[in-house]
A and B are shown apart, each in its own frame.
Chain A
Amino acid sequence: KAGVTQTPRYLIKTRGQQVTLSCSPISGHRSVSWYQQTPGQGLQFLFEYFSETQRNKGNFPGRFSGRQFSNSRSEMNVSTLELGDSALYLCASSLGQASDTQYFGPGTRLTVL
């Protein structure tokens, strides 16, 4: 089975721009979660989608949004980028229950200049 894929792997943007990140889950997985990883804050939960519905959301401003398509692929959007948004963005997929293992993609490293 193919693993979780994320595109692009690297991005450089400037303040004020917006960015869209993509995540393709493992085939059959209906849950996709997004995380932001920074040296200062560690790994923080952004949101989780299941069957095209946002099931849960972390404590991030409204500039961070996402969606999930019928094929379970998910996109994450960050508008009006700030320097502090520079981070590794990881997505993880699972079957969707608490005991199901989340498998992570390689991440997208976003740098905001």
Chain B
Amino acid sequence: AQKITQTQPGMFVQEKEAVTLDCTYDTSDPSYGLFWYKQPSSGEMIFLIYQGSYDQQNATEGRYSLNFQKARKSANLVISASQLGDSAMYFCAMREANTGGFKTIFGAGTRLFVKA
């Protein structure tokens, strides 16, 4: 069964430092996509970064990078130079084909607190 695990309910990081948010997944499908979203207190889900299962290189988007280790089934998000505005919930998600369509499942999330 599909599963996404985020083992860190909460994380603290000092402003301007880097932080890694962990995500492991489980799937038997060779084709899937991995996503990270940020959800501020306002509630809106903001797309951060995408990694395809066949991508050879780790994805990067500005201060965000995805440390993709396929054999370990992990897709950790690295945020460099943390800013106060990075304080939010972060969700790892996996999207794969399912009964003719696609289904996305989300992890439980990690709440990140950036300290000044």
Interface residues of A (CB under 8 A from B): 31, 33, 35, 42-43, 45, 48, 50, 55-56, 58, 88, 90, 92, 96-99, 101-107, 109
Contact = CB atoms under 8 A, between A and B. Distances in A.
Interface residues of B, number: 29
Contacts of B32: 98
B71 to A, nearest CB: 21
B100 interface: yes
Interface in B94-116: 95-109
Contacts of B45: 90, 92, 104
Contacts of A50: 101
A42 B102 contact: no
Contacts of A42: 106-109
Interface stretch (B16-24, B36-44, B62-70, B72-80): B36-44
Contact of B102 (A35, A56, A90): A56
A103 B100 CA distance: 21
A31 B102 CA distance: 10
Given A104-B37, A106-B43, A99 B50 contact: yes
Contacts of B97: 98
Given A104-B45, A107-B44, A48 B101 contact: yes
A20 to B, nearest CB: 20
Given A48-B103, A56-B102, A56-B103, A101 B50 contact: yes
